Structure 1
Amino acid sequence: MTTTPDQRAEARNRVIESARRLGVELNEQELERWMNSITEATGDSDITVDHDTGVFGHKVSMLDFDPKDLERFRTIGRIVEFDDVPGVVETALALSGSAAQSKVQTHPGDCDYFERVNIIAPTRAEACQILSRIMREKTINSRSGDNFQLVELKFGSYPQDVIRDEHSYHKGSPISWSPDDVVAGQIEVSDLHGNPMTITWDSVADDPGWCKLDWVIADPVRRQLANASNMLDVTWEAPDGTITPLDGYLDGYFQEIYLDAESAPIFSKLVKQVSTDVMDDYVTQLEKEVKKYFKPDNPNYGKAAKRLYNIFRLNGQYEEAAFLRELFDEPAALLYQVHALVRTVKDAIDQGAVFDIDHILDQTDELILSVIKVLEGEEELEITRHLLRLSRCISRQQEGVPLSPQVEAARAEVMQIVNNFFYEKMMALPTIKSYIDGLHA
């Protein structure tokens, strides 16, 4: 979408006026750079390569990536990535989520990765067995190290409605495995009548479904704890060259930043198979997620704002995208990171054999300082009180003091403030409110 300089100036001025009216601080120079760049992003290909760093991705996504943290992400990527197997497994690792938008989201919650894994095999069944094997090998080989601990992974789907650890799961929902479960090769559940059942790793391999791994990492660069995840998009390449996604859907590429130029041929081969309607499908999926995060029983307006930003920057609503872009740099957005890190602290404590208790307490101190920096009055006092209690519980772990009540209380208080901030700002801009209302109509 190409616009004239006068049109861009008018749009920029409208964003500036809206931000001032709503009390949102903005960097006018950065706003101008972004609006000029995104409206001029044209050409035969929608993929852009940064020849200085070797990273590549969709031309709109590349506008939001800051390479200053590239080595940090590559270092963590070496923990979460899968290895190629010549002639059998080929991969392309990318950043996704807030990690891929570091020019926008200066307070990302987690280190999210996305990896395309293409398996070359005579049959689909053999491709599934290869995936089962490399997932199990990855679990065992990256279970723990000096600065990381694998927490859980998703692999396979429940073959029927079951009860597990007093929670019910529907047939077809993804199965969560702890590293110990994977080593054992099975989990214990019961059917809805209370009859015990054993689900084995091998029995669900033919329908791998959603594949994802989650670690807690002691970030060597920022010297803080972080959650790192790797979501896999697994495909089978048949002898005739036909490529089939094992979960039934080949993901789009509108939010990934690929970290290694050597994976470009694999990426290109796979995206040629993407549906011509892939952008429409992507936007439709994001709209469904926006509706989900607006549900009154468990709202998350910060996540809704992130998805609306991705919708608007792709469908040409650049004024709305530019306005949302500025919200992620607001002080209250820092609390989104606090919300994520409180959970990370708990995960680290649960994996206490790997992470030093003083390191975890240092992380908790940083959370308290972040809250003090951002908030004031009763909100500051309430959240700080919960975090101080959490810190005391951590330091007394040898006494068996439970963490969950303080973790959940602190996260709930933080989320309420984050929700209030994003909801108020988004709904105060008429065009964004109209779009959201239209989704719920």
Structure 2
Amino acid sequence: MDHFLYKDGVLHAEDVSIPEIAAAVGTPFYVYSTATLTRHFALFQEALDGLPHLVCFAIKSNSNLAVLKTLGDLGAGMDVVSGGEYLRAKAAGVPGERIVFSGVGKTREEIHLALTGGIRQFNVESEPEMRVISAVASELGLEAPIALRVNPDVDAKTHEKIATGKSENKFGIPIAKARAAYAEAASLPGIKVVGVDVHIGSQLTDLEPFGAAFLKVRELTQQLRADGHNIIRLDLGGGLGIPYTRSNEAPPLPLDYGAVIKRTVGDLGCEIEIEPGRLISGNAGILVTSVIYLKEGEGRDFLIVDAAMNDLVRPSMYGAHHDIVPVVEPAPGTEARPYDVVGPVCETGDTFAKGRMITPLGADDLVAFRSAGAYGAVMASEYNSRPLIPEVMVNGDQFAVIRRRPSFEEMLARDTIPEWL
């Protein structure tokens, strides 16, 4: 469920009409719903009710400070994968004890930053990384809490570019080598083993892979405890998918996901950490764009909009689907037509949809791409020297620009021409 609904024939974000925002900031822009973010976070809290737990929002899905503060104020932890994301979490007011640092390539500088600024734990991806964390922590006279990320070799049954739990993926330590890695961790100075981490992929629409992975984590936890390790936390990652279409085939609910966790590892006495991103932010945001031209092609019509692949790269990168709807609700009985929805970037890949059935539109009409709150603005670029687009947040009948569109002068000022030119 989200809070983007038609009211009196016009699409609204909560109680604010989309045309009102468009008039204020221009198109294209992203808009996020506070009510949807709040509701989706609450669903995960409810799903883990009865277990000691921390829901850590995956910042990589949406890193805007207003989004992070909204969730942090609700008690969310943060899952970060870079020094920049760590600083964003801190800037949003989230304390270090609620920040988990993941990612396969942590640098000495990032490890130093997190240790001195405060960190709940590092999710360690390899033995060499573990040794560097030990060295940095020892130099600082600190102790680094860690969980080793194990790769359970479980097929997440998702897109190959976002699967992370199979043996050929770059993530984690093979689960067969985990006990040896934990033995080394226990011998290193500046290291405190606190848990086990696993994450098998993103946009999962089937609970079976989760169950298979969590049972492997259960078995490993029991073995590690028998080896003398004090395993007090299980970080089970994120990955639960969202409905990108308005079909009847919806992914499992957080409550179902929570039931799998309780059934597989709920009796181990561990604090449970999860790292949802997409399911919290995905349907909490839309991308709003304007039609520039309607172009009649050979056997097909092109709807050319002012958003492009640099603003929303998911369709080009993953072949991802986003529902595309007119902001002004079509009159009952209006017949839809097939359009290729494309942007103005000089790439054939700048295509959002092919043959998509949409009611007829014309120049300057507003169009919304649903389910764009995750991996939208965070993956945007200035390709073709197109400015990053505004982000807007709505709260009831209020809205605010939470990232403005930079001017061309600001973009050009970042470049420096050397003296010899």
Instruction: Give the TM-score taking structure 1 as reference length.
Output: 0.24
Higher strand share: 2
Larger RCO: Structure 1 or Structure 2 (Cα < 8 Å, ≥ 6 residues apart)? 2
Higher helix share: 1
Instruction: Give the TM-score taking structure 2 as reference length.
Output: 0.25
